[in-house]
């Protein structure tokens, strides 16, 4: 019986020798890999889960929550197409048989400046004449030039009516007075309403 117990204890010591050697290497700081000491015992055990996150889920060092990329201070900011687009201001010209009114507005519709034949000093029937429309055009061009000096803009031109002031503003735009405003005009639109049938016209005005 004593011999049998001694033989079993020797087998137990021999089986525990690799594990003891591995523990000793960890405590003592030996650089020998643990799996070389354990031999085939390590192959039978399931691999341990890694404590690190994938590169896409962790920071630059592999630990912690995701971090946004660090911006390059030397790179120039990319402007969108909407940010690079110039604001479109509007120039309205309403020319009737009695008067000529020109209005310069913001893209939102708020009025910046306006002139008419009466505000330019013309009386009665002269308010709708060619000279009145020309003077209105010259003065409104000065207002547009002042706004164009502060920021890059574009101007949409709208005509309404068939009075003489319509032709006066168009010709003034082609002269030296409209040299600054001419490159800013992007579109020209005619908004004159054309009546087909309809109700009876108003009584003719007598001056």
Instruction: State the pTM of this model.
Output: 0.56
Fold classified for 85-190 = Nucleotidyltransferase; domain 5 (3.30.420)
**Mean predicted confidence (pLDDT) in 3-12:** 58
Res 207: pLDDT: 79
Beta carbons of 91 and 172 less than 8 angstroms apart = no
Core vs surface per residue 69-104: b (16+ CB within 10 A) or e: eeeeeeeeeeeeeeeeeeeebbbbbbbbeebbbbbb
Per-chain mean pLDDT for the chain: 77
- pLDDT at 194 (0 to 100): 87
In this predicted structure, what is the pLDDT of residue 83?
A: 46
CA pair distance 156, 194, nearest whole angstrom: 21
Tell me which range, 7-16, 28-37, 71-80, 102-111, is most confidently predicted by mean pLDDT.
Answer: 102-111
Give CA angle at 108 (111, 117), nearest 5°. 25
pLDDT band, very low/low/confident/very high, at 42 (cuts 50, 70, 90):
very low
More confident residue, 196 or 26: 196
Coil, strand, or helix at residue 150?
helix
Per-residue pLDDT for 1 more than 70? no
What is the pLDDT averaged over residues 83-106? 90
What are the boundaries of each domain within the chain?
A: 11-40, 85-190
Q: Give the three-state DSSP class for 75.
A: coil
Q: Is residue 104 a contact partner of residue 142, using CB atoms and an 8 Å limit?
A: no
């Amino acid at each position: 019986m004593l011999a049998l117990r001694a033989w079993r204890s020797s087998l137990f010591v021999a089986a525990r020798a690799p594990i003891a050697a591995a523990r000793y290497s960890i405590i003592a700081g030996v650089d020998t890999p643990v799996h070389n000491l354990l031999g085939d015992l390590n192959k039978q055990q399931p691999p341990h889960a890694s404590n690190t996150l994938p590169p896409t889920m962790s920071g630059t060092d592999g630990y912690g929550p995701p971090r946004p990329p660090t911006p390059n201070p030397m790179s120039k900011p990319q402007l969108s197409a909407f940010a690079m687009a110039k604001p479109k201001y509007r120039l309205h010209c309403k020319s009737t048989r009695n008067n000529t009114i020109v209005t310069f507005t913001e893209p939102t519709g708020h009025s910046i400046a306006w002139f008419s034949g009466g505000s330019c000093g013309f009386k009665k029937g002269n308010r709708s004449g060619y000279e009145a429309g020309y003077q209105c055009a010259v003065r409104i061009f000065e207002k547009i030039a002042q706004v164009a000096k502060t920021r890059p803009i574009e101007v949409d031109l709208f005509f309404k009516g068939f009075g003489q002031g319509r032709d006066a503003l168009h010709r003034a735009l082609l002269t030296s007075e409209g040299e600054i405003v001419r490159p800013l005009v992007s579109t020209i639109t005619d908004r004159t309403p054309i009546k087909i049938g309809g109700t009876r016209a108003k009584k003719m005005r007598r001056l």
